[in-house]
Chain A
Amino acid sequence: MPEQLHPIPAEAAPSGNSNGGVLPGRDIREIVERSPEEAGAAVATNEMAWQAALRAKATGDSEVARRLRNAGVIGTGPMDGSQRDPMFARDDVLMCSPEEMAIIAEFNWAYEQQARGAFDAYRGQCVAIVNKTVLAGGIDLARITAEAAAKASVEPHRVAIFDVDPGEF
């Protein structure tokens, strides 16, 4: 059952908060100067909304997210955990090491190539990738890793091994 939320009063709602998040400090200070009572109500309402948002995030409750958006509490980004997610918080995430990020970037490129059919010749095999270039392919991972590392003059751990899907049901 979605949580019941009360929208922030229009005059107390944050303005220009296009990046999402909850009542940036500048906005609440303006409201405090104009009307302390309104500010108190806004903070109280906002705190309830923020707690609800955290719970919604934990449970993936998209209905609550929609209500929060309608209330003007959070932005309009997707609840997908990306930086456009209004509930995105850098402290929440663990990031890969630079070495791992390099391999992930190769995978992102490889998935794109696979979708375009560029890897059709390697369906059901693996390809060895360095700097968005396929340097070897086959079923022997040790061999293709060594071959790609030698061709690119890099250490084996810098070679991304991508499993090309057979592409069939």
Chain B
Amino acid sequence: MPFLRIRTENVARADRLIRFRDEQGREQTVPLVRLHLAITIGRDSARVSADEGKPRTAMLDTGAPLTVFPKHHWQGSARQIDRLPLVGGGTPTGRAGGRRFSYFLGRVWVGAADPFGRRLPSVPVLAQFREDDPAPGEPLPPILLGLWGGILEGRTLTRWTTAERYDSDLPTLESFGQWWRLSDP
């Protein structure tokens, strides 16, 4: 049963953390926790070029209906994507992070890996491939791994509470009170 751990990462800038006083008057800090994975593009059995197929960072977003690849991440792997025509034609638009974007729909094989070097086999993923460029000064959008038609299909996503603050095998990996695992059946 192949499985991997999902990285819990506090990505907040120190000056953007939310601090508040709880009911007992103690100062508390809200971490900006996100779930990160490394992904690879291309089938396991027919490895793409080493540069195309090398791991890249992605965010698991259970609030995203579909997987979204920003342009800067799919451009170099365009030949791995099977474009799928939309019924009715036209240029579809989506929205992520409060920003509307144009995209094409396609399917691409995606594998996943964790901070310990474990991986899950690649699976076909239906995704939105963004065609917009970020406005000058705007941050580059991340790869979002969404709920439907993606790497979660047929797999089990588990979250459990932990008292461990750090992973003792990877002491820089902080739990924020929760560990996550993605596994094949």
Contacts and interface: CB of A to CB of B under 8 A. Distances in A.
B165 interface: no
Interface in B100-125: 113-121
B55 A168 contact: no
A99 B50 contact: yes
A126 B140 contact: yes
B23 to A, nearest CB: 23
B118 A60 contact: no
Interface in A88-125: 92-96, 99-101, 103-104, 107-108, 111-112, 114-115, 117, 120, 123-125
Contacts of B2: 92-94
Interface in B30-63: 32, 34, 36, 38, 40, 49-51, 53-57
Interface residues of A, number: 51
Contacts of B168: 84
B118 to A, nearest CB: 5
Nearest to A167: B13
Q: What secondary structure prevails in chain A residues at the interface with B?
A: mixed
B54 A100 contact: yes
Contacts, number: 147
B10 A115 contact: yes
Contacts of B12: 167-169
**Among A83, A145, A165: residue with most chain B CB under 10 A:** A165
B55 A100 contact: yes
Interface residues of B, number: 62
Contacts of B54: 99-100, 103, 157, 160
Contacts of A117: 13-14
A118 B156 CA distance: 35
A124 B167 contact: no
Given A99-B50, A169-B32, A163 B118 contact: no
Contacts of A9: none
A26 B53 CA distance: 45
A93 B120 CA distance: 8
B3 A81 contact: yes
A40 interface: no
B51 to A, nearest CB: 4
B50 A125 contact: no
Interface in B1-31: 1-5, 7, 9-14, 16, 18
Nearest to B12: A167
A141 interface: yes
B93 interface: no
B170 interface: yes
Contacts of A57: 1
Given A100-B55, A103-B38, A94 B115 contact: no
A78 interface: yes
A165 to B, nearest CB: 4
B88 interface: no
A19 interface: no
B119 A94 contact: yes
B142 A167 contact: no
Nearest to B134: A139
Given A111-B36, A139-B72, A163 B142 contact: yes
Closest 10 CB pairs of A and B: A124-B139, A157-B50, A60-B158, A165-B11, A167-B13, A166-B139, A157-B51, A112-B172, A156-B51, A103-B55
